[in-house]
Amino acid sequence: MQRRYQKVIEEAPAPNLDPATRNALTAEAVAFAQAIGYRNLGTVEFVLDADTGEHFFLEINCRIQVEHPVTEAVTKRDLVRLQIEIADGEPLGFSQGDVVFDGHAIECRLNAEDVARGFMPSPGTLSLFFVPDLLQLRVDTHLCAGATIPPYYDSLMAKLIAHAEGRDATIDVLLEALEDLDVEGVETNRALLISVLAHDDFRRGVISTDWLERAIV
């Protein structure tokens, strides 16, 4: 789920992707890395034509990505640790066949921005920052009450990552977290995230890269 090519919500595994296409994508990603002799963390990105089912190579990001927690959740692998170990010359310690998915994971990006004013950045000092402590929720953030969000950098405040057995349960965890989340001092995109996650199209997985701007914004 993205807006102006910037991701807002990421998930794994991709919903409504047939096994044959998934297998082709993963095989091509591995072949790409092997062909260039790449030996570290990276993300191979593809775009899929929803009408024809064709997929096309987009780019490879040779680094850790913002959405890496969803991969960590479903594979039970610490990607940052592995990246450091590989850079230190240590062997990977597992094969491709050892990588299996466990459950479903969805990450949403909580941003300091005023959605009603064209997603204008909303810098300021936090008088309150509370995220509920839920069993199936991971929160990556550096913020607390009293922290300042400057106007010079990315507006990302926190990443909320839910991991549950099924996709519906994962969505429900995130909705509960966002409903109970409390931030004062800046505007956030919390209401937008709730609207997306609660939308029937998202629940059914019938979304595309331009869906957010067509259906919500």
For 123, the 3-state DSSP assignment is: coil
The CA dihedral of 177, 182, 187, 191, to the nearest 10 degrees, is: 40
Please name every residue paired with 38 in a beta bridge, in sequence order, or none if there are none: none
Torsions phi, psi of 158, nearest 5? -160, 155
Q: Are 205 and 15 in contact (CB under 8 A)?
A: yes
Q: Which helix or strand (DSSP H or E) is residue 33 part of?
A: helix 19-35
Residue 112, classed as helix, strand or coil, is: coil
Tell the burial category of 193 from Cβ atoms under 10 Å away from its Cβ (0-12, 13-18, 19+): buried
Comparing C-alpha atoms, which of 151, 127, 12, 6 is closest to residue 79? 12
* 109 noted as active-site residue: no
Q: Which of 63, 117, 204, 214 is catalytic?
A: 63
Residues classed as catalytic: 63
